[in-house]
Amino acid sequence: MTDIQPEPAQTTTPGPDRRKRRLPTAIAVLGVVVLVAVAGTAAAEIYYRHRVEGCIAAQTEQQLGDVSAHFGLRPLLLTRLDNRIPTLTVDTDNAHFGPAINMTVHARLNDIHLQDSGRTATIGSTSAEAIWSDQAITQTLHGLASDVTSNAGTGTVSMTVLGGLAHFEVRPQVVDHTIQINTVSSRGLPSGLVDDIMGVLTQSLQTLPLDTKADSLTVTNTGISVKLGGGQTTLHGSGDSC
């Protein structure tokens, strides 16, 4: 009787066609994983950017009024690691400098170090331009004067008072990083009214935000432009803002 030997088991290996079919599937799965990771990172960046913007805006609003904050190209997720923001620009068109209202300010804040979960920010340096338009000066004076007109040629700011019965003219300038207002003409004005107007103008241009000082001042045909600069300063926010 002849024994029947079992046939050896055959192992099958995927053929070239099957491997080719699996490759697109693997690539598709990898693509989905990458897209999910990118989407998650983008969502985290958007959330954290919005959060930090809210913190910084709330802190600068205490000195400037309503502002919009703009960060550079550096991903803010990196800020979670080192708590630093290289640069930040802040813009507003209704800043308050003491009694002054509706000033337009463009400021650049450099080397910002966040502390206490963003509730405190130490700024390395600040540069800014503040523009006080003739209209905003008139609004600030609250009826003390009207028809404010700046003259770039003479470097003066003139206005009418007492319903047009008198004329007042001043020349602002920077002396030792402080803005001074000098009277050029005060025809027909009582001294008390001159003092009131000068007080408002001086306080407005000497109450500067973010611990800055005046570097230069230019009288244009539409108002006063001041270049500001400052060193290290600290901003404090509230728990609600961060």
Give the residue with greater pLDDT, 185 vs 74.
185
Distance separating alpha carbons of residues 117 and 54, to the nearest angstrom: 12
27 falls in which pLDDT band (50, 70, 90)? low
What does the pLDDT read at residue 144?
Answer: 94
Of 82, 91, 132, the residue nearest 109 (C-alpha): 91
> In this structure, is residue 13 part of a structural domain?
no
Distance separating alpha carbons of residues 182 and 205, to the nearest angstrom: 13
Of 53, 189, 54, 216, the residue nearest 129 (C-alpha): 216
Give the residue with greater pLDDT, 162 vs 21.
162
> In this structure, is residue 8 part of a structural domain?
no
**Structural domain count, the chain:** 1
Mean pLDDT within 57-77: 72
How many CB atoms are located within 10 Å of the residue 75 CB? 15
What does the pLDDT read at residue 133?
Answer: 98
What does the pLDDT read at residue 121?
Answer: 81
Coil vs helix vs strand at 155: coil
- The residue written with tokens 């270049």 in the block is 227
> In this structure, is residue 186 part of a structural domain?
yes
Give the residue with greater pLDDT, 39 vs 151.
151
Task: Kindly state the tokens that stand for 37.
Answer: 């990771």
Distance separating alpha carbons of residues 216 and 226, to the nearest angstrom: 6
36 falls in which pLDDT band (50, 70, 90)? very low
What predicted TM-score, i.e. pTM, was given to this entire model?
0.74
What does the pLDDT read at residue 203?
Answer: 96
Element spanning 99, H or E: none
20 class by beta-carbon count within 10 Å (0-12 exposed, 13-18 middle, 19+ buried): exposed
69 falls in which pLDDT band (50, 70, 90)? confident
Give the residue with greater pLDDT, 65 vs 131.
131
Q: Please answer whether residues 187 and 82 qualify as being in contact, where contact means their C-beta atoms are separated by less than 8 angstroms.
A: no
157 falls in which pLDDT band (50, 70, 90)? very high
> In this structure, is residue 17 part of a structural domain?
no
Distance separating alpha carbons of residues 178 and 196, to the nearest angstrom: 20
Give the structural domain span for 81.
47-236
Mean pLDDT within 89-97: 91
What does the pLDDT read at residue 124?
Answer: 95
Mean pLDDT within 33-40: 46
The distance of Cα 190 from the centroid of its chain, to the nearest Å, equals: 42
> In this structure, is residue 110 part of a structural domain?
yes
Task: Kindly state the tokens that stand for 206.
Answer: 């000497």
Q: Please answer whether residues 113 and 232 qualify as being in contact, where contact means their C-beta atoms are separated by less than 8 angstroms.
A: no
How many CB atoms are located within 10 Å of the residue 5 CB? 6
Q: Please provide the average confidence, as pLDDT, over all residues in the chain.
A: 80
Q: Please answer whether residues 103 and 208 qualify as being in contact, where contact means their C-beta atoms are separated by less than 8 angstroms.
A: no
Mean pLDDT within 116-144: 90
> In this structure, is residue 9 part of a structural domain?
no
Mean pLDDT within 134-163: 95
> In this structure, is residue 60 part of a structural domain?
yes
> In this structure, is residue 132 part of a structural domain?
yes
Task: Kindly state the tokens that stand for 153.
Answer: 């040629």
Q: Give yes or no for residue 138 having a pLDDT over 50.
A: yes
Q: How far separated are the first and last CA of the chain, in Å rounded?
A: 92
Q: Give yes or no for residue 37 having a pLDDT over 50.
A: no
Instruction: Using DSSP bridges, classify how beta strands 178-185 and 166-175 pair: parallel, antiparallel or unpaired.
Output: antiparallel
The residue type of 161 is: V
Q: Give yes or no for residue 104 having a pLDDT over 80.
A: yes
pLDDT tens digits, residue range 187-209?
A: 889 999 999 999 999 999 999 99
